[in-house]
Structure 1
């Protein structure tokens, strides 16, 4: 067990030299999610904001099942957090008994023992469904998959590249003369693809792990039949500039302070994810969280909850957080991918 992550990282740098940004993020994120009750304390996700978010996902699955699948499925979630979204999804699907009875298994991809324990407790009321926990999507061997990933990709490590005096450099974490952790630059052997997109002083972010995970999902739904729904904050086309951020107690924090005690994420390049799916012949659709939820009827659900004596002010606040252009509505994107065809096509 690592008791002082900052010293551990410093010792690596002393022994082996500067750490690339993605390696640094990998170490920090693994430690953070293994040791901290992060969701709700440092940041909040859409399922924790409102039950309506998970309910809409449930309605979406029901609609796809009736229109495109109509056979037993395996429901998979990447990074289930506290288990809140899956709880609301299953609770909603259970009102459609035919679909509920056709869930062969719920598969949760989680490598944090702390979060796995929370998920087990949250989902124990669905004892009539077979649930299993895997650490990686590669362990999934089942057919007819419905894969969900909400705020999963943003936490995966990234690399940052930039030009400095006409030379391509990669952002690294190193130490100054006083043994403080600082960001620095190192010469890079990055492929020409990234060079072509950069100008002097510009940054570009690349996540090999995101691309590989997207390829794994694409391969699964191509070979095993399936549907994928990826929701995260990000942009539709590749952009320049650093989007790296750290959060502690719902406020911005300095990335190289409180090492391992705060959440480190970055915006997701959805065009890169779409390209990964395209390599497997899987077409994708990208929309905003706002349009996705409105099209599924979240406003009608809000009215229903309000008619049952739910707090109007509370429901309206939740709707605003999830769909407003100034909140999550436009910033969060939804990628939809499927190997199924509609019945009758």
Structure 2
């Protein structure tokens, strides 16, 4: 076993099974801290084509202009290799605005990659150290899906938290203690045995932190991720990816990316409760299409026909077009952002 697997196995042997949220947090901290997974195991929209970052940059510049051109900060959460920000800044600069750039990133190896593409960036381990004297325009592309989740499973005697045990060096899910009925949405309390609900207190906590800052300072938050609407839904979405193939999320913790579908309705509700206005979510296909991605693809395809394949990956219904969704939250008195008709 790896060092992380050994540490987790030892902790379980000493104190008993651990929550899936604890297992996921430890695994992803190890995974993102040990190298640069983008391209090796998976790709994000910004790595598929420059068009994605360019559209986000244009969206940001337009929103700032209609807000009165404040001296806003550009902030990306979990910026990968920095590709999205680099492409967005190229478009933003064409409008005459050169924002101060901040990255929220804990991985030292990824910070080195980001510095190669965005040398002017300033780094933070979390959102608490971001400047508090100017509006914030925050971008979170495939950020919330990697935050830890809890899994709750229905048994014949009620709902229980799902935990991770370790037997003979193998990690596996087991049923833990019962959870209060109030934790379960009323529509799902009588779900059939074996049903699983996923919730993410970590994602809600981060959203509340971000929303409080945006509400106090002004600005907006743009979230792009794969997920669903309507609140917690029965089903298991926790997954692992290695070399662009699905793998068991419980094998070799720290060597695979763990993620889960994002509950956009709950995130939006947390933002609204903090005083922000929510826009969307809408399908990524509709967001990018309404902001002119097709025209940009046609222009680029004159020199590179492969651009149309990238366009399909970003917008196709059998690719990222509808599974991925876009949600924006804006501060009071900020204009309604483009792309959410």
Q: Answer whether TM exceeds 0.5 for this pair.
A: yes
Question: How far is the alpha carbon of 1:3 from its aligned partner?
Answer: 5.6
Give the distance between the partners of 1:19 and 1:91, measured in 2 at CA: 45
Question: How far is the alpha carbon of 1:255 from its aligned partner?
Answer: 1.4
Q: Give a deviation string over 1:236-288, Cα, whole Å, max 9, x none.
A: 11211100100000000011212211111000000010110111121211111
> Quick one: structure 1 residues 278 and 122, their matched pair in 2 at CA, closer, same or farther if it must change by over 3 Å?
same
Question: What's the secondary structure of 1:255's corresponding residue?
Answer: coil
Q: 1:157 aligns with which of 148, 151, 155?
A: 148
Question: What's the secondary structure of 2:122's corresponding residue?
Answer: strand
Q: 1:316 aligns with which of 274, 296, 308?
A: 308
Give the distance between the partners of 1:88 and 1:215, measured in 2 at CA: 28
TM-score by length of 2: 0.93
Give the distance between the partners of 1:192 and 1:57, measured in 2 at CA: 39
Unaligned segments of structure 2, at least 5 residues? 337-341
Could you say which residue in structure 1 is the equivalent of 2:209?
A: 216
Kept after mapping to 2: 8 A contact 1:167/1:187: no
2:29 aligned with 1:8, yes or no?
no
Unaligned segments of structure 1, at least 5 residues? none
Q: Give a deviation string over 1:108-151, Cα, whole Å, max 9, x none.
A: 00001110111111212xx5xxx310010121233211010000
Give the distance between the partners of 1:52 and 1:336, measured in 2 at CA: 19
Give the distance between the partners of 2:160 and 2:18, measured in 1 at CA: 13
Give the distance between the partners of 2:252 and 2:11, measured in 1 at CA: 18
Give the distance between the partners of 1:32 and 1:244, measured in 2 at CA: 16
2:300 aligned with 1:305, yes or no?
yes
Q: RMSD value over aligned CA atoms? A: 1.6
Give the distance between the partners of 1:195 and 1:17, measured in 2 at CA: 28
Question: What's the secondary structure of 2:67's corresponding residue?
Answer: helix
**Alignment map for 1:1-345 (pairs within 5 Å):** 4-97=3-96, 99-100=97-98, 103=99, 105-124=100-119, 127=120, 131-142=121-132, 143-176=134-167, 178-190=168-180, 192-194=182-184, 196=186, 197-198=188-189, 199-201=191-193, 202-238=195-231, 239-285=233-279, 286-307=281-302, 309=303, 311-312=304-305, 314-339=306-331, 340-342=333-335
Runs of 4+ in 1 over 6 A off after TM superposition: none
> Quick one: structure 1 residues 118 and 191, their matched pair in 2 at CA, closer, same or farther if it must change by over 3 Å?
farther
Give the distance between the partners of 2:313 and 2:157, measured in 1 at CA: 43
Give the distance between the partners of 2:252 and 2:242, measured in 1 at CA: 9
Deviates more, 1:190-199 or 1:107-116: 190-199
Deviates more, 1:331-340 or 1:62-71: 62-71
TM-score by length of 1: 0.92
Kept after mapping to 2: 8 A contact 1:219/1:280: yes
Question: What's the secondary structure of 1:138's corresponding residue?
Answer: helix
Kept after mapping to 2: 8 A contact 1:168/1:195: no
Give the distance between the partners of 1:139 and 1:191, measured in 2 at CA: 37
Could you say which residue in structure 1 is the equivalent of 2:339?
A: none
Kept after mapping to 2: 8 A contact 1:288/1:331: yes
Q: Give a deviation string over 1:22-72, Cα, whole Å, max 9, x none.
A: 000010000000003211111110000000000000110111111124121
Give the distance between the partners of 1:190 and 1:21, measured in 2 at CA: 18
